[in-house]
Structure 1
Amino acid sequence: MFVEPNIGGRSISKAGWVEVICGSMFSGKTEELIRRLNRVLIAQQNVEIFKPTIDKRYSKKKVVSHNENAIHSTPVNFAHDILLRAGHCDVVGIDEAQFFDDEIISVSNELANQGKRVIIAGLDMDFMGKPFSPMDQLMATAEYITKVHAICMECGNIASYSYRRTKSKQTVVLGEKDVYEALCRKCFYEKMDHKPR
């Protein structure tokens, strides 16, 4: 006899899970998210895709990679809004998760507990090279983690850091190559050491 698992007082009727795609700027996170979601669409599964309203760099209503691949999405202000709009789907895609409030962690787990596949993309480190919350906690609770890498714009090695060229100390500063560059560990810390305070 099958007994439904019970987690925190909730029954789980079918297996869901969380996948996190993380890395630096220009590493292909969104490209990988779009690739996985397109495969879901080919399989004719019901999918909902979300992005934070704050991210309007390429499009207000599409998730767009740096290579200009795009997929339709729903912009939302708060993580809880995702729960309200994802009830009927099999798969939930979330881009730029680092821009959401900390509730994105419980929302993602709740969706997985409902039996959904949740695919999340976001920066794992901020411009200081520190873990970017809430991505660090999402990675801790995810079943699958994929770390993608960019190419260092200084030396050509594998890059996993997002160096900010401006003097802003704000954690969230939207920008592209005019504001950020991908760097390897060595080049990142060399530039940070010489950056004007």
Structure 2
Amino acid sequence: MFIEPFKTGVDSGWIEVICGSMFSGKTEELIRRLKRAQIANQRIEIFKPAIDTRYHETDVVSHDESRIRSTPVTASQNILLLAEDAEVIGIDEAQFFDAELPNVAETLASKGVRVIVAGLDMDFQGQPFGPVPALLAKADYITKLHAICVVCGNIANYSYRTSADEGRLVLGEKDKYEPRCRKCYHRG
């Protein structure tokens, strides 16, 4: 369970990263933290990559259909332009952003903003994914979530691609991916 730190001063921002495989609850946890910030009357802004339109064009939506309003952006630098007055920034699907996202998060945190980022830490090949490894290196707090392996029922931390699609970036859900443990992932 994540315990939210107390903000002690104007320049006391930080970076939180929520990572794990597909179907592990990353977006659900991001939404939970952002809704708590709303309850606390904090000014929040949420961003997602414009290419992710799987559930909704603008809203961030979890697999269990929890949702929160967001702003789709084409580049991470746009977040700096659109988040001027926010106290808390949420960023979903971090793996689809460009390599500048860690610097954007660092800039925001240095200005006293709480930055909460969710994303896959590994791609379907089990390799570090996009800017997430660099975000993990800069993070003040890291939460690694796990799904349940659909083959054996153990803890899953891999996203196994079941479709024949080629290319690293293939948007999909249960029609193209399933969570698997290390053993079942490597078995294929």
Per the normalisation by structure 2, the TM-score is 0.94
The 5 A counterparts of 1:12-91 are: 14-91=11-88
The DSSP-based 3-state class of the residue aligned with 1:82 is helix
The 5 A counterparts of 1:151-170 are: 151-170=148-167
> Structure 1's 155 and 148: CA in aligned 2 closer, same or farther, altered over 3 A?
same
Over the aligned positions, Cα root-mean-square deviation in angstroms equals: 1.0
Q: Partner residue of 1:139?
A: 136
Question: Deviations 1:49-68 (Å, cap 9, x if unpaired)?
Answer: 00000000000110000000
The DSSP-based 3-state class of the residue aligned with 1:19 is strand
4+ residue runs over 3 A deviation: none
Query: What's the CA shift for 1:171?
Result: 1.0
The 5 A counterparts of 1:88-107 are: 88-107=85-104
- How many Å separate the matches in 1 of 2:132 and 2:57? 22
Partner AA of 1:168 in structure 2:
D
Aligned length: 180
Query: What's the CA shift for 1:13?
Result: 5.2
Partner AA of 1:120 in structure 2:
V
- How many Å separate the matches in 1 of 2:172 and 2:102? 25
CA contact (8 A) 2:17 2:116 kept: yes
Q: Partner residue of 2:3?
A: none
- How many Å separate the matches in 2 of 1:85 and 1:44? 19
Q: Partner residue of 1:194?
A: none
Q: Is structure 2 residue 178 aligned with structure 1 residue 181?
A: yes
Query: What's the CA shift for 1:167?
Result: 2.6
In structure 2, list runs of 5 or more residues that go unmatched: 1-8
Query: What's the CA shift for 1:166?
Result: 1.8
Partner AA of 1:186 in structure 2:
K
Query: What's the CA shift for 1:14?
Result: 1.2
- How many Å separate the matches in 1 of 2:64 and 2:27? 9
Determine which of 146, 149, 162 is the counterpart of 2:146: 149
Higher-Rg member (1/2):
1
Per the normalisation by structure 1, the TM-score is 0.90
Percentage of pairs with the same residue? 61
The DSSP-based 3-state class of the residue aligned with 2:19 is strand
Q: Is structure 2 residue 103 aligned with structure 1 residue 111?
A: no
Query: What's the CA shift for 1:133?
Result: 2.1
The DSSP-based 3-state class of the residue aligned with 1:55 is coil
Q: Partner residue of 1:171?
A: 168
